[in-house]
Amino acid sequence: GGVEDEVTLSAYITIALLEMSLPVTHTVVRNAFFCLNTAWKSARKGTHGSHAYTKALLAYAYALAGNQNMRKEILKSLDEEAIKEDNSIHWARPQKHTVPESFWFQPQASSAEVQITAYCLLAYLTVQPAPSEEDLTTATFIVKWLTKQQNSNGGFSSTQDTVVALLALSKYGAATFTGAKKAAQ
Cα separation of the two ends of the chain = 41
Instruction: Give the integer Cα–Cα distance in Å for 139 and 125.
Output: 7
For the residues 151-169, what does the mean pLDDT come to?
A: 95
Q: Which pLDDT tens digit goes with each residue over 13-30?
A: 999 999 999 999 999 999
The pLDDT value given to residue 108 = 76
* Boundaries of every domain in the chain: 6-94+108-176
Residue 106 CA: distances (Å) to CA of 38, 91, 102, 110, 127: 39, 19, 6, 10, 35
Q: Which pLDDT tens digit goes with each residue over 86-142?
A: 999 999 987 655 555 555 555 578 999 999 999 999 999 999 889 999 999 999 999
Between 42 and 98, the more confident residue is 42
- Which of these, 131, 112, 6, 116, lies nearest to 63 by C-alpha position? 131
**Architecture label for domain 6-94+108-176:** Alpha/alpha barrel (1.50)
**pLDDT(50) > 90:** no
Q: Cα torsion for 58, 63, 66, 68, to the nearest 10°?
A: 90
**pLDDT(182) > 80:** no
- Crossing angle for the helix pair 68-81 and 111-125, nearest 10 degrees? 140
